[in-house]
Amino acid sequence: MVFSFQVDGLGTYSLSVIYASLVVSCAFLPTAVIKRLKCKWAMVVCMLCYTTYIAAQFYPEFYTLIPAAIILGMGAAPMWSAKCTYLTQVRSELEFILSPIKWFARGKNRLSPEVSWEHLQTGSGGV
């Protein structure tokens, strides 16, 4: 089995191409891809870009790894942005659901002992 680092610096070149195309991708693609595909599907499609690079590692030649590295670099930035956007959306939804639970768990719902005892004695309400 031949590895990409054994073929005349192919590993170094392919990593350089990945990061060069990632820089270009960060400037232009994430917003457009996420708007078009939404977060979940953007992550799925961008993971396919990773699989092309992984598949190209089975036959490491310049004509397989360099194009796969370009595809990976172009898919990496939208995937990272989609992941962060999705986690932010899920967090805000969970915060809405869990905030009352956290409020009660911290004991913020309890009144001071004097106030609650006073309400109970006068019969003016209570907890």
Range(s) of the domain holding residue 83: 4-122
Residue 107 maps to a domain: yes
pTM value? 0.69
User: Please, is 62 exposed, middle or buried when counting C-beta atoms within 10 Å of its C-beta (0-12, 13-18, 19+)?
Assistant: middle
Residue 127 maps to a domain: no
Q: What is the mean pLDDT of the chain?
A: 81
Residue 114 maps to a domain: yes
CA–CA separation, 104 and 65 (whole Å): 55
What was the pLDDT predicted at 122? 60
Number of domains in the chain: 1
DSSP sequence for 44-69: HHHHHHHHHHHHHTTS--HHHHHHHH
Give pLDDT tens digits for 89-101: 888 777 777 777 6
In the chain, which residues have pLDDT < 50?
126
